[in-house]
Structure 1
């Protein structure tokens, strides 16, 4: 069940205004039910755990499915979730003090607690939650309420002294609290913002009008030189941390030779904290039978498979927000002028409770501001203009207005065919910041889709609406991100006839592709989802075309080509579940394959002395992989990182012998330039890398498994692979993975891995077991059917209330 488009549109028009109206709101606690159906109050679920502690939850209704999920994930990850609910409620300063930071990085970074509190109290306040709730269908709300009830039941059991020895970090903490549906919805709203407002926490919470004595001279544009490298593409992407992203490969029937498709999902996501994945299986007979992964705190599966459909996500290049420059009224820096009409900013007085050094609580109040577009933003710390007496900056976030995201995911959970799945993507257009690939049973096609929530800023707007000078500078630093003129309604976002949300593109102007060969994405744009069928003609805010691809993207397509051309040393020339499971973890290093021979010719001839000679010998014998037994991988990594740092400092220097060619984008640019400047940087980088490894006490002839470990606290589990920037397809931050196919006449066949394991509690038996399986490259044949579950059953828990 879902709401008709027209009703959703009307509510969304006011959602942003509602979200930032409250000045000092109540965070957390119950609110009135905005849905027509009466709230479910009784729940029952069966939780069957199989290998690695994966919960299989069976219930008679959606509320029960959510109930089982909430209980199971609390059993595995109570302290992480409890800490996160404090965060999203804007209460970190109350419990942990104002200056400390969250221990682990998530999609909103690690801002000081006080800044995080003001951010969430501004954008995920009770009005925002109520407006978001109003748009959700009954079955999704039942799932959400059940999740809150199941989580809360486990909290109460802990507080009653049950589950001895578990969750030592929080079981006696004041901040361990039960939750309700609003807390879960607040978490979903926050997750929506991962590629937009969440990247600008301190910039939003520090945006203040100038003091009268410090008001700048009135000018509406700043010199282009003010645009700093601090405003780079990473600041507009999910996570702002190297390695966050994903790979996916989806093979059509022509590539499998069976007439049926095959899917590989490979997120590179957070290994710690609330934004990591949780693997589960939920069944409501006749309504739902879905397995896969959810980002912790979301009650539905966000990436997974049922018996008819499988899908994967990768972070998309599309921008989810734009910046606007506001022309301020003379003498009044809190009023802007649009089409000659004064528009006062809305002031939000927000009070946060803060724990002092003496553990006593006091109130800190701050006034934050918003325009009709969204929150004000302070860009001065990035070398861009600050809030002056003449101009100020504001951010419009499409996903702050998006109420359909989790309806869309939940609809995917229940899709019955590839056509049904594709239709749901185009109906909801609610996916907030990820590409999607998908396959279906008895279907030879593979789907790539960036049918997502994107501000409707066609390229035709830019000539007349970019802020002169500064707008072009921002676009140069962050391709696709426009800084628009907020003084004219003509520069407001457009709406297509098929838009599901005002101000966003409709599916007719968003890229997608169905192919019987293959589709792939490794976090470059939609352009080369299949290099033989490039997608072109889309707005720059969605992504670039005709540009050099990342080394990881080139490695991914090379792996596919080598498989289909019989060039990878494996049998045959087709894709199968078995060989894709092998290939995707083989840890080939693309930069080494392309450049090592030339590098060694530069740094090892004439023969160097001492440690550099040993490094030359090690690299010459290295097999160009990042497998655990590889000797030399860490030496190449140290060299490559040093070289890239030096090249970044000299952007005018071209390191390649053959430049990028849009007609051969997988194989270019290639070759190391013979330019003396490039050769000098190569030699310097090699010498510095070797010296640094010696200083760090790292043996040059160590295996990678001896120097590279999994990041789980208290555990040192060897880790293969490397960074995508080095050309590894097998990335260090591999998290949840699955390879799925639909054999003719048989149930879905899925192999999975969860590199960080199910539980974040060191006292859990499932704290490190899946991680060890990942380190051993032992894919898990996932038990999906009743017979498979019973054959692998570890425990059964019946819960009800």
Structure 2
């Protein structure tokens, strides 16, 4: 149906929200081959110097006297460990996958933009990360940032040239002789950063943007008449709206304050659940620039600074936030042209970008993609046919992080911060973090800090109620797109038009503890819920996931029983407890065991052996545990039932409710089915180490056993743990950090650091990180590499 004229007229008197310069410029330029005149940037230095000291597990400690040198050493070290992954990604972001790998193949590993067909990826990246967007992003950075990026590219290129000259024999067999292995420039680096910025927004809709095409103007009257939105039928699968285009990515974090640690300082725990392979996985590094930077931690590959980590006075961690970073608007199209829309009563022509992609077989494929003044056109017809591009209406997406050039400035400011307060001030003043919550702690500062002070569309609930056409998913309304009265607002304290200012974003300081396990801001500390924030930021007073409930249960038990320390936190977070079993196993056994045998499809199933196994099981997913697989098969067959619990959720007791397993006939049948299936497979009494292995090391002769399980079952210790740290600040001593990088430093099977860290994780052997000069020298595994160019 067409948007109501009365509504459009009423809204046209609203306040117009200004669009940022970044958005206006990012919409210009037809594709990645259309060049703008770049804004003047500082000339990089002519020479670069860096020293790389590698310690246990191949972790590089990079020292330099300049930002350019620091980037130079980092780019070289990262290429040394992960050359083929990086080279493949630079092909992807430049929109040349079809040329080198064929149009119908898919990107090799999952990433923040999914695993799309090469042709769709090429059109998306040439359209969204075109040269106009990249150069606008680059022009917003300062001189030190430019030097860091230029140095990174120079270091990467040095290693590429060595490989192409025949050096480093046996290394990087997957790409060393390939034509797509090439030197990069600063544009490639900035393009990588732009793409990473969009992980929680445009990249979620890669295929829907790359495939958005207007209908032919010549259509029969029947199709024109039926081309409007059916508002009542627009609810979509909420899992589709997650970063990475699927549910499952996330993280855990704790920060403990002085009331619980018994010291003047805090303790920070980082635990991202992230990609085990590909360009978006983590890399562990230590960066040292005298007088300015001494920071260790992890970065997503290609970002030339630490994204989560620790210094001598500070530690921080991230979890993926529930806040939405994009918004959909319904445009009313002109009846004579589906690329013209009506806005504030005036006709506006969409901006067309004609893009041609060359394929491996020599074919040239051209698409014309379109933008409104708000952002790219998008079709959601694959999710609901009513949300396609018709002759009367179409969808456009506005992406708050396409307008945000400050994200990596924010991270670089944190790399320089020397206290928790300086860290908090940078977060609020820069307001650049694109899609993650933050938890932090510091030396001689008793506060534990949590925030979702990030770049969020300024979409207050009052505006949503005024302009919403439909709710596509929680926090994602389909908004009227005919009037400036329905555009995103701008706060006085926001550095970016259309984004909330820090005063309207959630944060909490606590001398007890803060935590986040990918539920919203609401329950960062159960005793101090954060409420009253816009729905676009996250839900409030709603049932928490079992992983969140396990996380808070563990923390509260630890605080009640003892003083949190680095040692007991390290033990706690790898304990592999199963919250669903702790809550429901005894009730299941009490109901199922006396009922044995249980009928399934007319056949009796003896569950007595299974009862003995579960009764003896310690409710963990540790490697020698027996019963975890049986519980997992049972739980995953019943967990989606609406009547699973007898006591409903209460926002007054969100950690402990809902509870009370419903042990009716349906539950007992599901248990018997799980018993029968595992008995037939000979796995009823299987130990975790016998069936669960690290998934991302296919070239190993022997698989590495993996403890833990799924967050859906209430595991806090999940299977896709990646980087981890526990950091505290002993009085009068240097920072103390224990770390893991579970997938190891190198993606090259020929490297000695392809799986060594992974084996340490399997054995729960935390790495005592060498931070000082003396510790680094003692832990060095090879002579320092001195790089000069």
TM-score under structure 1 length normalisation:
0.93
1:619 aligns to what? 614
In structure 2, C-alpha distance between the alignment counterparts of 1:541 and 1:67, rounded to whole Å: 40
**Residue 24 to residue 523, structure 1, CA distance change in 2 (3 Å):** closer
1:754 to 717, 732, 741: 741
Q: How far 1:330 sits from its partner (Å)?
A: 1.3
2:398 aligns to what? 396
1:415 aligns to what? 417
Contact 2:407/2:434, CA 8 A, preserved across alignment: yes
SS of the aligned residue for 1:444 comes to strand
**Residue 798 to residue 479, structure 1, CA distance change in 2 (3 Å):** same
**Residue 112 to residue 694, structure 1, CA distance change in 2 (3 Å):** farther
1:455 aligns to what? 457
2:685 aligns to what? 701
SS of the aligned residue for 1:421 comes to helix
For residues 272-671 of structure 1, the aligned pairs below 5 Å read: 272-356=277-361, 361-383=362-384, 384-467=386-469, 471-472=470-471, 474=472, 478-566=473-561, 573-608=562-597, 612-644=607-639, 647=641, 653-671=642-660
In structure 1, C-alpha distance between the alignment counterparts of 2:165 and 2:199, rounded to whole Å: 36
2:266 aligns to what? 261
Q: How far 1:12 sits from its partner (Å)?
A: 7.8
For residues 18-37 of structure 1, the aligned pairs below 5 Å read: 18-26=25-33, 34-37=39-42
In structure 1, C-alpha distance between the alignment counterparts of 2:748 and 2:46, rounded to whole Å: 30
1:17 to 24, 29, 34: 24
In structure 2, C-alpha distance between the alignment counterparts of 1:25 and 1:268, rounded to whole Å: 33
1:770 aligns to what? 757
In structure 1, C-alpha distance between the alignment counterparts of 2:624 and 2:607, rounded to whole Å: 22
Deviations 1:563-600 (A, max 9, x none): 1111xxxxxx1100000000000000000000111222
1:792 aligns to what? 779
In structure 2, C-alpha distance between the alignment counterparts of 1:200 and 1:218, rounded to whole Å: 28
Deviations 1:258-313 (A, max 9, x none): 13210000000000111000000010111111100000011110001111111000
1:722 aligns to what? 709
Q: How far 1:611 sits from its partner (Å)?
A: 6.2
**Residue 76 to residue 32, structure 1, CA distance change in 2 (3 Å):** farther
In structure 1, C-alpha distance between the alignment counterparts of 2:596 and 2:668, rounded to whole Å: 13
Q: How far 1:238 sits from its partner (Å)?
A: 1.3
1:187 to 189, 192, 217: 192
Q: How far 1:232 sits from its partner (Å)?
A: 2.4
In structure 1, C-alpha distance between the alignment counterparts of 2:418 and 2:268, rounded to whole Å: 16
Residue 674 (structure 2) pairs with residue 689 (structure 1): yes
Deviations 1:131-181 (A, max 9, x none): 000000111111111110101100010000000000010000111111111
In structure 1, C-alpha distance between the alignment counterparts of 2:239 and 2:313, rounded to whole Å: 37
Contact 1:219/1:390, CA 8 A, preserved across alignment: no
In structure 1, C-alpha distance between the alignment counterparts of 2:73 and 2:267, rounded to whole Å: 30
Q: How far 1:643 sits from its partner (Å)?
A: 1.4
In structure 1, C-alpha distance between the alignment counterparts of 2:665 and 2:187, rounded to whole Å: 59
Which of 497-506 and 212-221 deviates more?
A: 212-221
Q: How far 1:530 sits from its partner (Å)?
A: 0.7
Q: How far 1:688 sits from its partner (Å)?
A: 3.0
Q: How far 1:672 sits from its partner (Å)?
A: 1.6
2:720 aligns to what? 733
Contact 1:756/1:770, CA 8 A, preserved across alignment: yes
Q: How far 1:25 sits from its partner (Å)?
A: 3.3
1:680 aligns to what? 665
Contact 1:248/1:265, CA 8 A, preserved across alignment: yes
Q: How far 1:405 sits from its partner (Å)?
A: 0.4
SS of the aligned residue for 2:52 comes to strand
Contact 1:19/1:122, CA 8 A, preserved across alignment: no
Contact 1:480/1:543, CA 8 A, preserved across alignment: yes
Which runs of 5 or more structure 2 residues have no equivalent in the other structure?
A: 1-16, 598-603
In structure 2, C-alpha distance between the alignment counterparts of 1:32 and 1:559, rounded to whole Å: 56
Which of 104-113 and 376-385 deviates more?
A: 376-385
SS of the aligned residue for 1:425 comes to helix
In structure 2, C-alpha distance between the alignment counterparts of 1:501 and 1:698, rounded to whole Å: 59
Residue 102 (structure 2) pairs with residue 101 (structure 1): no
Residue 223 (structure 2) pairs with residue 222 (structure 1): no
Q: How far 1:213 sits from its partner (Å)?
A: 4.3
1:113 to 99, 110, 118: 118
SS of the aligned residue for 1:355 comes to coil
Q: How far 1:682 sits from its partner (Å)?
A: 1.5
In structure 1, C-alpha distance between the alignment counterparts of 2:558 and 2:771, rounded to whole Å: 29
Deviations 1:108-152 (A, max 9, x none): 001100000000000111111110000001111111111101011
Deviations 1:331-351 (A, max 9, x none): 211111011100111111001
SS of the aligned residue for 1:394 comes to strand
**Residue 264 to residue 35, structure 1, CA distance change in 2 (3 Å):** farther
Q: How far 1:698 sits from its partner (Å)?
A: 4.7
Q: How far 1:616 sits from its partner (Å)?
A: 2.3
SS of the aligned residue for 2:394 comes to strand
Contact 1:348/1:367, CA 8 A, preserved across alignment: yes
**Residue 698 to residue 400, structure 1, CA distance change in 2 (3 Å):** farther
Q: How far 1:224 sits from its partner (Å)?
A: 3.8
Contact 1:446/1:518, CA 8 A, preserved across alignment: yes
1:197 aligns to what? 202
Deviations 1:56-95 (A, max 9, x none): 0000101111111100010000001111111001000000
Deviations 1:193-228 (A, max 9, x none): 111111111111111111234463347853245325
Which of 412-421 and 607-616 deviates more?
A: 607-616
**Residue 349 to residue 36, structure 1, CA distance change in 2 (3 Å):** closer
1:169 aligns to what? 174
Contact 1:33/1:39, CA 8 A, preserved across alignment: no
1:77 aligns to what? 82
Contact 1:315/1:435, CA 8 A, preserved across alignment: yes
In structure 2, C-alpha distance between the alignment counterparts of 1:493 and 1:698, rounded to whole Å: 58
Contact 1:35/1:133, CA 8 A, preserved across alignment: no
Q: How far 1:601 sits from its partner (Å)?
A: 2.9
In structure 1, C-alpha distance between the alignment counterparts of 2:486 and 2:389, rounded to whole Å: 21
Deviations 1:452-483 (A, max 9, x none): 0000000011221001xxx13x1xxx211121
**Residue 297 to residue 12, structure 1, CA distance change in 2 (3 Å):** farther
SS of the aligned residue for 1:283 comes to strand
Alignment coverage as a number of residue pairs: 760
Contact 2:577/2:620, CA 8 A, preserved across alignment: yes
In structure 2, C-alpha distance between the alignment counterparts of 1:124 and 1:450, rounded to whole Å: 26
Contact 2:42/2:146, CA 8 A, preserved across alignment: no
